[in-house]
């Protein structure tokens, strides 16, 4: 056993470096180019457009006053995104389950789903403001609208793609609708549900930030902060806030990957190469 | 076998002039009549597309025949599909317990039944494995174990071993035959393999090309238990030859 793991170790270390090294190299190259642009291309007068990385770190991350602002608004946006996502999940699962139960429900609902999906969010901003005000509630609504579609489509696909033979087996043994849903269709849908969730979670974060630009009342979200920094020509803070918002997106994506692994990793072979 | 195959009405499974025409006009089966009694293992061989799967679906009640009738003891039917059709999200144990679960059997009893069936198909030690960690042959065994749990009086097999290699298939044949001896069900088996048919059955039925009709019946009178060596017996080979000849005739 010990001999075996001793043999395997270099391989494991190598595969780890193989995974970590390329992004590090690329990242370093990226920082170099950043410096090059900042110092080489921009004359000092115009350097506020792209501050060098160490300045960004110093002002944006190490200055607690600024960084706590960023964290606070990031937290506000995270809350909005997660509340929106949670609502979208509830609505999405319920609608998908209903649609899977009767073809007629599917036919009735689907056109509206597609319509909702293809309406540019900008076009209904006034309507949302009219109905829900210009505060957090409207931001949540944007998140729901933007993240609902992938959940419904993926869940419905998962529910409908259960093996025919298993359906036959349940029919042979007189399973009722609820049993069929609980024991076959729903578990069968889980991988697809998680695939949809990962997409929707990302969209919901985007929705929270975008929603911030239109509906600024209440706690300032990260979108508000970005706008403020841009207006103040605060280049360091602006870049730091941008970096933190992408960090949020990445964190959300990875968390849902982790959640998926925990929930269904034991039996399902993940085919997305995302982790 | 002592059972009377010429059709007392007591068969566990009886087709009477059964015919099937699909809505699109495809006539799949025509005037099928035969019975399978308890303790009989009847195999149907026939060219691809002649209606064998349709025959089983009708026997199981999944499909209503368009003419004639079928009588079957469908209370706790055993049905082994062409592929394993396991639930990926259940372990071997979970999959084998499924039917007992559907019939509302308590968890203690369920565990006992499942353990017994798993033992019977030789999957002990793999109870906790998920299907993704099983080989094709092991999945098939799991599927077999699942259908055994309710001790079905009637057992339908739709080319269950078509997807596994020759050696595994012979192993599974030996096991199926042993199960047949211990459980004494009425078995209706579909296969493309003539040697499999002859090895397992008390009777082999040859079906014609579509629309499927029974064109020939062979009684296989080798004594049970049939040992693997039987496959090299000259009389075994001769029977296989006869079935094969008739089957080729039915293609024409
Ligand atoms: N639902 C259906 N509607 C119309 N035609 C069908 C349907 N199901 C099967 N058929 C037709 O009935 C015929 C018999 O089909 P079946 O699946 O029973 O064949 P089979 O003997 O099992 O073939 P194989 O050996 O290839 O599995 C085929 O010609 C098929 O196209
Ligand atoms: Mg078939």
- pLDDT-based confidence at residue B250 (cuts at 50, 70, 90): low
pLDDT at A180: 95
pLDDT of residue B190: 94
State whether B218 and B241 are in the same domain.
Answer: yes
Q: Which of A1-15, A68-82, B52-66, B163-177 has the lowest mean pLDDT?
A: A1-15
What pLDDT was estimated at residue A58? Answer: 81
Work out the average pLDDT over A24-39.
89
Q: What confidence score (pLDDT) does residue A273 get?
A: 45
CA distances in angstroms from A171 to A14, A126, B71, B100, listed in the order given: 51, 51, 18, 14
- The mean pLDDT of A83-91, rounded to a whole number, is 95
* CB under 5 Å of ion ligand 2: residues: B 53
| Number of CB atoms found within 10 A of residue B198's CB | 26
Strand order in the sheet with B214-219: B78-80, B154-158, B186-190, B41-45, B203-207, B214-219
The reply to whether B122 and B102 lie within a common domain is yes
**Same-domain check for residues B57 and B68:** yes
- Does A184 contact B87 at a Cβ distance shorter than 8 Å? yes
Q: Which residue has the higher pLDDT, A15 or A195?
A: A195
CB atoms within 10 A of CB A127: 11
Mean pLDDT of A125-154: 90
Q: What is the pLDDT of residue A275?
A: 40
Q: Are residues B145 and B157 in the same domain?
A: no
How much distance in Å is there from the Cα of B210 to the middle of ligand 1?
A: 9
By Cβ distance, the residue of B81, B99, B132 closest to A267 is B132
> Which of B98, B125, B151 is a domain's end point?
B151
CATH classification of the domain holding B166:
3.40.50.300
Domain identity same for B93 and B17? no
Q: Cα–Cα distance between B22 and B158 in angstroms, integer? A: 20
Answer whether residue A52 shows pLDDT above 90. no
- Closest Cα to atom 15 of ligand 1: B51
Residue B94 belongs to domain spanning: 87-151
CA distance A173 to A160: 20
> Please, which residues bridge with residue B21 across strands?
B27
Long-range contacts of range B161-164, CB-CB < 8 Å, 24 or more positions apart?
Answer: B161/B191, B161/B193, B161/B196, B162/B82, B162/B191, B162/B192, B162/B193, B163/B82, B163/B83, B163/B136, B164/B136, B164/B137, B164/B140
Question: Which of A179, A267, A269, A271 best probes binding to B when mutated, by most B CB atoms within 10 angstroms?
Answer: A267
Ligand at shortest distance from the CA of B46? 1
The pLDDT of B177-200, averaged and rounded, is 88
Asked, as a colleague might, if the bond just before B211 is cis with ω within 30 of 0, I would say yes
Ligand 2 centroid distance, CA of B29 (Å): 13
| Mean pLDDT, rounded, for B39-60 | 91
Q: Would B38 be classed as within a structural domain?
A: yes
Q: Which residues of B touch A184 (CB under 8 A)?
A: 87
Residue B24 sits in the same domain as residue B126: no
Q: Which ligand is nearest to the CA of B158?
A: 2
> Ligand 1 pocket check: which of B21, B28, B162 to mutate, most ligand atoms within 8 Å of Cβ?
B28
Is the pLDDT higher at A64 or at A175? A175
| Residue A86 pLDDT > 90 | yes
Q: How far is B102 from chain A (nearest CA, A)?
A: 7
Number of domains in chain B: 2
Give the model's pLDDT for residue A11: 61
Q: So what's the pLDDT on residue A271?
A: 57
Listed in sequence order, the DSSP H helices in B42-163 are 52-60, 92-102, 107-120, 136-148
Write out the residues of chain B at the interface with chain A, using a CB-CB cutoff of 8 A.
60-62, 74, 77, 79, 81, 83, 85, 87-90, 98-99, 101-103, 130-132
Considering the domain boundaries, does residue B211 fall inside one?
yes
Q: Tell whether B61 and B131 lie within a shared domain.
A: no
Interface probe for A, chosen from B53, B85, B163 (most Cβ of A below 10 Å), is: B85
Same domain, B170 and B233: yes
Last residue of a domain, one of B130, B151, B172: B151
Query: How high is the pLDDT of residue B57?
Result: 92
Among candidates A183, A188, A267 on the partner chain, residue whose Cβ is nearest the Cβ of B130: A267
CATH top class, domain A56-274:
mainly alpha
Which has more confidence, B171 or B97?
B97
Q: Are the C-beta atoms of A222 and A70 separated by less than 8 Å? A: yes
Is 80 exceeded by the pLDDT of residue A200?
yes
Query: Is residue A176 pLDDT above 80, yes or no?
Result: yes
Which domain-ending residue is among B109, B128, B151?
Answer: B151
Tokens of B71: 């009588």
Question: How close, in Å, is residue B76 to chain A by CA atoms?
Answer: 7
Distance from CA of A181 to the nearest CA of B (A): 13
What would the mean pLDDT of A55-79 be, rounded to a whole number?
A: 84
- The SS3 call for residue B74 is coil
- Ligand 1 centroid to Cα of residue B107, in Å, is 39
Cβ separation A171–B62 shorter than 8 A? yes
Lowest-pLDDT range, A64-68, B88-92, B129-133? A64-68
Question: What is the mean pLDDT of the segment spanning B155-178?
Answer: 85
Q: Would you state the pLDDT for residue A95?
A: 93
Question: What ranges do the domains of chain A cover?
Answer: 1-50, 56-274
Chain B: closest CA distance from residue A153 (Å): 21
Ranges assigned E (strand) in A111-217: none
Pick the range with the lowest mean pLDDT from A103-112, A229-238, B7-16, B200-209: B7-16
What local confidence, expressed as pLDDT, does residue B167 receive? 83
The size of the A-B interface in CB pairs under 8 A is 52
In this prediction, residues B116-120 reach a mean pLDDT of 87
Q: What pLDDT is stored for residue B2 in this prediction? A: 37
Mean pLDDT of chain A: 86
Q: What are phi and psi of A136, to 5 degrees?
A: -60, -35
Does the pLDDT at position A80 exceed 60?
yes
Q: DSSP letters of A170-200?
A: HHHTT--HHHHIIIIIHHHHHHHHHHHHHHH
Ligand 2 centroid–CA B196 distance in Å is: 16
User: Is B162 found in the same domain as B58?
Assistant: yes
Same domain, B159 and B147: no
């Amino acid at each position: 056993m010990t001999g075996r793991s001793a043999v395997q170790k270099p391989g494991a270390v190598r595969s780890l470096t193989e995974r970590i090294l390329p992004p590090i190299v690329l990242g370093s190259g990226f920082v170099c180019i950043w410096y090059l642009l900042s110092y080489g291309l921009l004359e000092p007068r115009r350097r506020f457009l792209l501050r060098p990385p160490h300045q960004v770190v110093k002002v944006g991350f190490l200055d607690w006053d600024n960084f706590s602002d960023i964290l606070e608004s990031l937290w506000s946006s995270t809350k909005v995104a997660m509340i929106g996502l949670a609502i979208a999940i509830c609505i999405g699962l319920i609608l998908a389950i209903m649609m899977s139960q009767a073809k007629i429900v599917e036919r009735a609902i689907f056109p509206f789903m597609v319509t909702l999906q293809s309406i540019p969010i900008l076009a209904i901003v006034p309507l949302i403001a009219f109905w829900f005000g210009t505060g957090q509630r409207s931001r949540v609504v944007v998140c729901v609208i933007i993240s609902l579609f992938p959940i419904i489509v993926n869940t419905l696909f998962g529910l409908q793609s259960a093996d025919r033979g298993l359906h036959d087996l349940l029919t042979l043994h007189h399973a009722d609708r609820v049993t069929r849903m609980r024991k076959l269709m729903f578990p069968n849908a889980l991988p697809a549900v998680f695939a949809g969730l990962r997409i929707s979670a990302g969209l919901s974060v985007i929705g929270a930030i975008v929603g911030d630009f239109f509906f600024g009342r209440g706690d300032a979200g990260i979108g508000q902060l970005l706008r403020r920094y841009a207006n103040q020509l605060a280049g360091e803070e602006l870049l730091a806030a941008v970096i933190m918002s992408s960090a949020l997106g990445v964190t959300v994506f990875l968390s849902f990957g982790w959640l998926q692994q925990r929930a269904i990793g034991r039996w399902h072979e993940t085919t997305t190469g995302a982790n | 076998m002592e059972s009377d195959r010429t059709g007392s009405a007591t068969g566990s499974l009886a087709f009477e002039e059964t015919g099937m025409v699909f809505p699109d006009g495809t006539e799949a089966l025509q005037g099928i009549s035969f019975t399978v009694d308890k303790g009989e293992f009847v195999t149907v061989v026939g060219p691809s597309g002649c209606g064998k799967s349709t025959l089983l679906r009708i026997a199981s009640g999944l499909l209503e025949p368009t003419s004639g009738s079928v009588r079957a003891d469908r209370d706790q039917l055993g049905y082994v599909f062409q592929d394993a059709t396991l639930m990926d999200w259940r372990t071997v144990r979970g999959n084998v317990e499924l039917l007992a679960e559907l019939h509302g059997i308590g968890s203690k009893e369920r565990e006992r039944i499942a353990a017994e069936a798993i033992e019977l198909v030789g999957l002990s030690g793999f109870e906790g494995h998920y299907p993704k960690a099983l080989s094709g042959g092991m999945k098939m065994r799991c599927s077999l174990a699942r259908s055994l749990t309710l001790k079905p009086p009637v057992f339908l097999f739709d080319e269950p071993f078509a997807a596994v290699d020759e050696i595994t298939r012979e192993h599974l044949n030996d096991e199926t035959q042993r199960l047949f001896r211990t459980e004494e069900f009425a078995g209706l088996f579909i296969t493309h393999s003539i040697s499999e048919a002859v090895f397992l059955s008390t009777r082999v039925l040859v079906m014609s090309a579509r629309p499927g009709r029974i064109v020939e019946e062979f009684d296989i009178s080798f004594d049970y238990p049939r040992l693997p060596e039987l496959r090299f017996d000259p009389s075994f080979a001769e029977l296989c030859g006869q079935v094969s000849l008739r089957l080729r005739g039915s293609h024409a």
